[in-house]
Amino acid sequence: MTAMLEVTDLQVAYGKIEAVKKITFSVDEGQVVTLIGTNGAGKTTTLRTISGLLRPTGGSIRFQGKPIQTTPAHEIVSLGIAHSPEGRRIFPRLTVEENLLLGSFSRKDTANIKGDLQAAYDLFPILRERAKQPAGTFSGGEQQMLAMGRAMMCRPKLLMLDEPSMGLSPLMMKRIMSTVRTLREQGTTILLVEQNAQAALRLADKGYVLEVGSIVLQGTGQELLASDDVRKAYLGED
């Protein structure tokens, strides 16, 4: 079986700065795969390149066997890749419902959208209560739920989440992580970027550790959790 997402020797640069240096990794269907690493490691850059916001300077990205490294961002969404970006990036002056509906912008099967809106509300009931409220008035945790709900509105085959737990209370973080688990159980393949390595590795099938643009370590979630290097560098233990 070929992987759902195959990233091979991917290179991305901002001008002369090489942010991602020949990384190779893959995500199989039904898996949760996590990319962890410290600030500036290149995690966000990697996701933005997969979703077409950035163009690689080398290497390839294949989704379900097809190369997508030159496909425009708005077409990548219709292939089934949703990206919930770092910092949530909800549309502040649109209502919660309008934000969610934008998530379904690329879909042709308009008849099913209403039902998926209800599914998003069932996933995060607070969104239903505040459906008509401008999203900019939401708290960080609520915005994160909205961003995830919005990403789910395109019925993604692959859901990419960039630091969904950033800046959230421990309680809210648990809530988000358990939603990631729920989504996986519902059959969504997930590529999860996290600084909170512990939480991410606990639910990941596979993990990659990124350091200044290169993958330095990889393994199953359990292996990485047990690895001394990871424990020292990312779990704050010595």
Partner 1 sequence: MLFLQQLINGLTSGSLYALIAVGYTVVYGIVQLINFAHGEVFMIGAFGSLAVWTIFFQGQTSILILIPMLLGAVAASVGVAVLMERFAYRPLRHAPRLAPLITAIGVSVSLQEIVRLFYPGAKSPLPYPQIDYVSGTALQLGDITLRRSAIFTVGALVVSAVFLWWFINRTKLGRGMQAVSQDPDTARLMGINVDRVIVVAFALGALLAGIAGVAQGLQTNSISQIMGFTAGLKAFTAAVLGGIGNVAGAVVGGLVLGVAESLATQFIPGAFGGTPWKDVWAFVLLIVVLVFRPQGLLGARVVDRA
Ligand X SMILES: Nc1ncnc2c1ncn2[C@@H]1O[C@H](COP(=O)(O)OP(=O)(O)OP(=O)(O)O)[C@@H](O)[C@H]1O
Q: Per the structure block, which two tokens stand in for 43?
A: 């995690």
Q: Give CA–CA dist 11/19, Å, rounded.
A: 8
- The smaller minimum CB distance to partner 1, of residues 131 and 235, is found at 131
- The smaller minimum CB distance to ligand X, of residues 44 and 84, is found at 44
- The smaller minimum CB distance to ligand X, of residues 153 and 168, is found at 168
Residue 211 as a binder of Mg ion (CB under 5 A): the answer is no
Residue 46 as a binder of Mg ion (CB under 5 A): the answer is no
Residue 37 as a binder of ligand X (CB under 6 A): the answer is yes
Residues from 68 through 87 that contact partner 1 (CB under 8 A): 72-75, 77-78, 82-83, 85
Residue 165 as a binder of ligand X (CB under 6 A): the answer is no
- The smaller minimum CB distance to ligand X, of residues 44 and 51, is found at 44
- The smaller minimum CB distance to partner 1, of residues 43 and 150, is found at 150
At position 37, the amino acid (one-letter code) is: G
Shortest Cβ 54–ligand X spacing (Å): 9
Residue 41 as a binder of ligand X (CB under 6 A): the answer is yes
Start-end of H helices in 186-237: 197-203, 221-226, 228-234
Q: Give CA–CA dist 142/140, Å, rounded.
A: 5
Strand order of the sheet with strand 81-84?
81-84, 158-162, 189-194, 32-36, 206-211, 214-220
Q: Give CA–CA dist 88/172, Å, rounded.
A: 15
Residue 195 as a binder of ligand X (CB under 6 A): the answer is yes
Shortest Cβ 47–partner 1 spacing (Å): 10
Residue 43 as a binder of partner 1 (CB under 8 A): the answer is no
Contact of residue 205 among Mg ion, partner 1, ligand X, none (CB under 5-8 Å per partner type): none
Tell me the backbone φ, ψ of residue 97, rounded to 5 degrees: -65, -40
With CB under 8 A as the contact rule, the residue among 2, 9, 70, 105 that binds partner 1 is 105
- The smaller minimum CB distance to Mg ion, of residues 104 and 143, is found at 143
Residues 19-46, buried b or exposed e (16+ Cβ, 10 A)?
Answer: bbbebebbbeeebbbbbbbeeebbbbbb
Q: Give CA–CA dist 148/103, Å, rounded.
A: 10
Contact of residue 70 among partner 1, ligand X, Mg ion, none (CB under 5-8 Å per partner type): none
Q: Give CA–CA dist 29/190, Å, rounded.
A: 9
Residue 54 as a binder of ligand X (CB under 6 A): the answer is no
Per the listing, tokens 């991410």 go with: 200
User: For binding to ligand X (CB under 6 A), which residues are involved?
Assistant: 14, 17, 19, 37, 39-45, 86, 195
User: For binding to Mg ion (CB under 5 A), which residues are involved?
Assistant: 44, 86
